[in-house]
Amino acid sequence: KIFQDIYFSVEDTDGIGVLYTKTGEYSAILRMENPVQKYSANIDSYYEFTNLFAAIAQTLGEGYALHKQDIFTRKQFKDESGKGHEFLSESYFRYFNGREYTDSMTYLTITQENKKSRLMSFDNKKWRDFLVKIRKVQDQLKDASIKSEFLGKQEASLYVDRFFAMNFRDKMVSMTGFKVDDETIGMGDRRCKVYSLVDVDSANLPTQIRPFTNIEVNNTSMPVDLVALVDSIPGVESVVYNQIIFVPNQKRELAL
* Cβ neighbours of residue 236 closer than 8 Å, sequence gap 6 or more: 74
Residue 224 lies in a domain: yes
How much of the chain, in percent, has pLDDT values that exceed 90?
22
pTM score of the predicted model: 0.83
pLDDT digits (tens, 9 = 90+) for 25-55: 889 999 998 888 777 778 888 889 889 999 9
Would you give the DSSP letter of residue 171? S
Tens-place pLDDT, residues 56-76:
999 998 889 999 999 988 888
Contact criterion met (CB below 8 Å) for 140 and 132: no
Nearest to 244 by CA among 72, 68, 112: 68
Name the residue with higher pLDDT: 90 or 31.
Answer: 31
Which residue in 72, 54, 16, 49 sits closest to 146, CA to CA?
49
Query: Domain range spanning residue 168?
Result: 9-74+101-255
The verdict on residue 82 lying in a domain is no
Residues 35 and 45: their CA atoms lie apart, in Å, by 9
For 72, 211, 223, the CA distances from 228, given in Å and listed in that order, are: 11, 11, 10
Check residue 132 and give its pLDDT.
94
Specify if 107 maps to a domain: yes
Residue 172: inside a domain: yes
Tally the domains of the chain. Answer: 1
